[in-house]
């Protein structure tokens, strides 16, 4: 079984990005900039943002974090986004989710100029991705895509099963696999007989949030299994895939932690650089 080492792949990607930033700086005398807006004191959000800032600096990006208290009003956030939209030194804007209840997520996402939407959540980017046009692509599914391609460069005709239909993971993952000419089945909480669907997959991407949902007897031999899930349990962090069982049958599998997670941040840096390149 191939253990897909997301940490290693993310480090390789970051090295490539570092070189690209140096090259862009030499050519344009400018560097790409990422601005993250963090609202409130949620511990996981603070950790994510700290990691994003650290990684951005490591590859040589200009990185800025703007912090607001939980009580900030919506208009303050929208006005800050409008200001950043106009700032040429800012290539990418990210508003860390989740937001406090009194702030409308849709309004915030739609306020970001699609050209600076490094998360790929703006409806224009969602539409572009599904139409096969150039767009920012949500970082986690983009990372999964790179990991799958490392194991199997030619995905044409493969049967892919995506578990979960969120805007963050399942739906964009489906679009990326479709673009590679996979035959894709999207499954979700109302799917009947998920095991039977999974057994048809040459590729399975699990993005559910249920610890160890995918069992060893749900997976056929030679399947590439990508585990997006991050679940806190009594035995520590586990994914949506039962690692012990599935590693005995699958062709390749991502661990949790150390699989998809590290790729997500590396892809955010890549998206920031892509936004910069499209802007010059």
**Active site residues per annotation:** 52, 96, 119
Question: Site for ligand NAD (CB under 6 A): which residue of 208, 225, 246, 269?
Answer: 208
Distance CA 2, CA 250 (A): 8
Q: Which is nearer to ligand NAD, 214 or 273 (CB)?
A: 214
Stretch that binds ligand NAD, among 123-131, 175-183, 201-209, 243-251 (CB under 6 A): 201-209
CB 63 within 8 A of CB 31: no
Out of 260, 269, 273, 275, name the contact with ligand NAD by CB under 6 A. 260
* Site map 25..54 versus ligand NAD, x via CB under 6 A: ------------------------------
What distance, in Å, lies between the first and last C-alpha atoms of the chain? 44
Residue 188 touching ligand NAD (CB under 6 A): yes
Among 264, 268, 269, 270, binds ligand NAD (CB under 6 A): 264
191 binding ligand NAD? (CB under 6 A): yes
The CB-of-51 to ligand NAD minimum distance in angstroms stands at: 11
How far apart (Å, rounded) are the C-alpha atoms in residues 174 and 162? Answer: 7
What single-letter DSSP state applies at residue 103?
A: S
Listed in sequence order, the DSSP H helices in the chain are 6-28, 43-58, 74-86, 105-111, 123-131, 139-151, 170-179, 194-198, 243-246, 260-279
Distance in Å, CB of 98 to ligand NAD, minimum: 10
User: Shortest Cβ distance from residue 215 to ligand NAD (Å)?
Assistant: 12
Q: Is the dihedral of CA 195, 212, 247, 173 positive or negative?
A: positive
Residue 166 binding ligand NAD, by CB under 6 A: yes
Q: Is 162 in the site for ligand NAD (CB under 6 A)?
A: no
State which of residues 169, 223, 247, 272 lies at the interface with ligand NAD (CB under 6 A). 169
124 forms part of the interface with ligand NAD (CB under 6 A): no
Rounded Cα gap, residues 221 and 244, in angstroms: 15
> What Cα–Cα distance (Å) separates residue 5 from each residue in 23, 144, 246?
28, 12, 16
User: Binding to ligand NAD by residue 175, rule CB under 6 A?
Assistant: no
d(C-alpha 184, C-alpha 175), whole Å: 9
Nearer to ligand NAD by Cβ, of 45 and 85: the residue is: 45
- Sign of the CA dihedral with 214 first, then 216, 217, and 221 last: positive
Interface residue with ligand NAD among 81, 108, 203, 228 (CB under 6 A) is 228
Which class for 71: exposed (0-12), middle (13-18), buried (19 or more C-beta within 10 A)? exposed
Give the angle subtended at the CA of 271 by the CAs of 270 and 276, to the nearest 5°.
100
Q: Which residues bind ligand NAD (CB under 6 A)?
A: 140, 163-166, 168-170, 187-189, 191, 194, 207-210, 228-231, 260-261, 264
């Amino acid at each position: 079984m191939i253990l897909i080492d997301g940490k290693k792949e993310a480090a390789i990607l970051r090295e490539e990005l570092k070189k690209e930033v140096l090259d862009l700086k030499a050519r344009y005398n400018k560097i790409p900039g990422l601005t993250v807006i963090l609202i409130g004191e949620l511990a996981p959000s603070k950790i994510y943002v700290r990691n994003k800032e650290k990684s951005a600096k490591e590859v040589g990006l200009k990185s800025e974090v703007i912090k607001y208290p939980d009580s900030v009003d919506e208009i303050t956030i929208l006005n800050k986004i409008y200001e950043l939209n106009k700032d040429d030194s800012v290539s990418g804007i990210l508003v860390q989710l989740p937001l406090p209840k009194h702030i409308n997520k849709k309004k915030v996402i739609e306020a970001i100029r699609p050209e600076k939407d490094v998360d790929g959540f703006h409806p224009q980017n969602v539409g572009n991705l599904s139409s096969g046009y150039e767009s920012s692509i949500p970082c986690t599914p983009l990372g999964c895509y790179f990991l799958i391609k490392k194991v199997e460069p030619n995905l044409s005709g493969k049967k892919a099963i995506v578990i979960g239909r969120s805007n963050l993971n399942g739906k964009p993952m489906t679009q990326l696999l479709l673009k590679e000419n996979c035959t894709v089945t999207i499954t979700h909480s109302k799917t009947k007989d998920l095991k039977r669907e999974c057994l048809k997959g040459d590729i399975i991407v699990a993005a559910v949030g249920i610890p160890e949902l995918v069992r060893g007897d749900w997976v056929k031999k030679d399947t590439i299994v990508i585990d997006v899930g991050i679940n806190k349990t009594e035995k520590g962090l586990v994914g949506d895939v039962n690692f012990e069982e599935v590693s005995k049958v699958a062709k390749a599998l991502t661990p949790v932690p150390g699989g998809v997670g590290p790729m997500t941040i590396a892809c955010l840096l890549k998206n920031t650089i892509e936004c910069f390149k499209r802007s010059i």
